[in-house]
Amino acid sequence: MYTIPRILACGDSALSVEFGDDIDDDINTRVLSLDRNISRQMIAGVIETVPTYRSLLIHYNPFMTSYTSLKRDLIPLLNNQQLSQIDTNRKWSVPVVYGGSFGIDLEMLASEKNLTENEFIKRHCQVEYRVCMIGFMPGFAYLGGLDPSLATPRRKHPRPDAPKGTISIGGEQAALQSVVGPSGWHWIGQTPLEVYAPDRHPMCLLDPGDIIRFYPVEQEAWSHESERCAAMICDAAK
Amino acid sequence: MSRLIVVAPGVSSIQDIGRFGLQRYGVAPTGAMDTGSLRRGNTLVDCTVGTPVIEIGPLPARFEISGAPIRIALTGAPRTLSINEKNAALDQTHVIREAETLTLGSARGATFSYLCFEGGLLAEPQYESSSLDERAGFGSPLKRRLQEGDILEIPSATAWPSERSAANPQSGLFRHDVIRVILGPQDDYFFPETISQFLSTRWRIAISSNRMCYSLDGPKLAHAKGYNIVSDGTVKGSIQVAGSGQPMVLLADRGTIGGYPKIATLTTVDMDRFVQIPPGGEVRFEAISVERAQSMLRTQAAHTALALKAASNPRGVNEDALISENLAGSATNALDPAAFD
């Protein structure tokens, strides 16, 4: 973590407040905390914010503010910023069918690490993950907290069309992919939970700061678990 | 209500000013690539700047009208426009009648055109936008690009005292020489020599370029500290340098998060000029400060506002008609710099 956050121009209509240059819970907490402070303050000219692992990207209207004055507006928020608890760290239990055609890379990853598939699944399920950021594709959730023994460098060549619901590992990161799209990560399972649906409220079930726990289910339980997930989304909409 | 029948779409989609506020969920703004041409076209047809239009790529396209007359304006890339085989001017409004066809030739030396309609084409915005975003499942009235046989509903034309035209207010739009950029946010991932090389090279826009990203062909740029940054947010105009050393300019349909160092970012003043450079076209970059970029943007906006104001007047001033139509008043939204994104 940097002692003083860095403010970087991203062109003439956005700036980035960078708190560090690695993947770290404390850094991410600062990012999310600044994000929430800004959304409460209504700073002139701010259009939208994008929290990521280690920085907050702020899109602004250059006709309503400027790089210089927005930086000035941010200083008090950065000075007073406490490592606050994130007030929306909701917890989600997410079912996953591991291996086989649902996670075509599980067998290879487990054998690479001299683990049985069951041991691999157990290590993937026994930790709490934090949604550090959402992006690249709609609803794609980047998760922090992976057991380091499961970390695996990304594939040299990305594959097209990872199915929606793909649970994957890329380097030290875990992910939950919500829509079909290319992926250079290793696919270990699939969830019936539809994190993202454009016509639904909430459109995206997860928010940065949320906590996720996975639990393994059998392939036969897919439709039953889909119903449980749909009910969970209904509750969230209330 | 009238109907526009898509006879040959080329590569077209419905776009407006874009969908904002969802980037934190991975949904890119999308929207018109060349927002200046979108604004000009919508001003000509008396719509607010963000009204949905048809964005048409470089290939020829053809449409037919069924029902009451409609009024259109075509802005953007230079190309031939004909109404029932008769040449018609760009940057001017035209009334098109039942069974008449609208034919666009190939774009010449640019990429995107904007077909704008008086009254705006009928759409149901989602999150305040009708722009197509196939991956995210947004777009109205279509969640895909235009196809042959599609029928779009367009409000019928109203009576105007005369048609409007605009001298191209961004004269020099299609001079593709130098595009100004602001270095960073990750210019410290490159050696100073590499930044000089980036700024002195004549880059060529790769053939594979699309609304998501324009790749730049030229020398490979060396990374000083490796190419894996911790992934972070992107903007329209972020210039990422991929692992291979090839720069890629992220545009309207980009991913909201990127994992390669970003050497520089396009300035908004030169954005429309850049996106119109066709594949194979050349470009050179010049670095300026963010303060200078913002002051240039304000100057440009003032000039554009004047040009658009002129465009919103009918040719041959008819003062009675002007007053009765309240043209100046109706153009106010389009001219408000705050409406600009």
Select from A6, A7, A8, A10 the residue whose CB has the most chain B CBs within 10 Å, as the one to mutate to test that interface.
A10
Q: Please give the Cα distance from A82 to A3 (Å, whole number).
A: 13
Q: Which two tokens stand for residue A180?
A: 């079909």
3-state secondary structure of B330: helix
Do A62 and B339 contact (CB within 8 A), yes or no? no
Q: Which homologous superfamily is A91-237 in? A: Cyclophilin-like (2.40.100.10)
Do A214 and A192 contact (CB within 8 A), yes or no? no
- For residue B337, say if its preceding peptide bond is cis, omega within 30 degrees of 0: no
User: Any chain B CB within 8 A of the CB of A7?
Assistant: no
Q: Which positions 154-183 of B are in contact with A (Cβ < 8 Å)?
A: 182
Q: How far are the Cα atoms of B13, B62, B64, B120, B238 from residue B8, in angstroms, in the given order?
A: 12, 5, 10, 21, 33
Contacts of A22 in chain B (CB under 8 A): 230
3-state secondary structure of B94: strand
Do B75 and B114 contact (CB within 8 A), yes or no? yes
The candidate with the shortest Cα–Cα distance to B252, out of B207, B209, B289, B301, is B209
Distance from the A188 Cα atom to the nearest Cα atom in chain B, whole angstroms: 22
Using CB atoms, pick whichever of A12, A139, A140 lies closest to residue B294: A12
CB contact under 8 A, B232 and A52: yes
Distance from the B24 Cα atom to the nearest Cα atom in chain A, whole angstroms: 5
User: Any chain B CB within 8 A of the CB of A161?
Assistant: no
Q: Please give the Cα distance from B75 to B84 (Å, whole number).
A: 19
Contacts of A34 in chain B (CB under 8 A): none
Greatest CA separation for chain B: 67
Q: Which positions 229-268 of B are in contact with A (Cβ < 8 Å)?
A: 229-235, 237-238, 255-258, 262, 265-268
- What is the separation, in whole angstroms, between the first and last Cα of chain B? 30
Q: What's CA A149's distance to the chain center, in Å?
A: 20
Instruction: Scan for tokens 């048609």, then name that residue.
Output: B163
- Please provide the DSSP assignment of A97-138 as one string: EESGGGSTTHHHHHHHTT--HHHHHHHHHSS-EEEEEE-SST
Mind listing the pLDDT tens digit for each residue in B18-37?
999 999 999 999 999 999 99
Residue B303 — pLDDT band, cuts 50, 70, 90?
confident
User: Any chain B CB within 8 A of the CB of A209?
Assistant: no
Instruction: Give the pLDDT of residue B168.
Output: 62
The model's pTM is: 0.91
The candidate with the shortest Cα–Cα distance to A38, out of A5, A66, A74, is A74
User: Any chain A CB within 8 A of the CB of B21?
Assistant: yes
- Domains recognised in chain B with CATH numbers: 2-169 (no CATH), 178-294 (2.40.100.10)
Contacts of A136 in chain B (CB under 8 A): 26, 231, 255-258
B45 φ, ψ (degrees, to nearest 5):
-90, 10
Instruction: Give the pLDDT of residue B200.
Output: 97
How, if at all, do strands B282-287 and B178-183 pair?
A: parallel
Do B90 and B107 contact (CB within 8 A), yes or no? no
Mind listing the pLDDT tens digit for each residue in B51-94?
999 999 999 999 999 999 999 999 999 999 999 999 999 999 99
Mind listing the pLDDT tens digit for each residue in B213-251?
999 999 999 998 877 788 899 999 999 998 889 999 999
What is the arithmetic mean of pLDDT over A8-29?
94
What is the arithmetic mean of pLDDT over A44-57?
96
3-state secondary structure of A154: coil
What is the arithmetic mean of pLDDT over A205-225?
95
Domain extents for chain A? 6-78, 91-237
> CA B220, B244, A173 angle in degrees (round to 5)?
145
Among 3.40.640.10, 3.40.50.620, 3.30.930.10, 3.30.1360.40, name the CATH number for the domain at A6-78. Answer: 3.30.1360.40
Give me the interface pTM, i.e. the ipTM: 0.93
3-state secondary structure of B136: coil
Reply yes or no on whether the pLDDT at B315 is more than 80: no
Q: Lowest-pLDDT range, B98-102, B158-162, B203-207, B322-326? A: B322-326
- Partnered with residue B126 across adjacent β-strands are B129
What is the arithmetic mean of pLDDT over A217-223?
96
Contacts of A208 in chain B (CB under 8 A): 24
Looking at chain B, the whole-number percentage of residues with pLDDT higher than 70 is 89
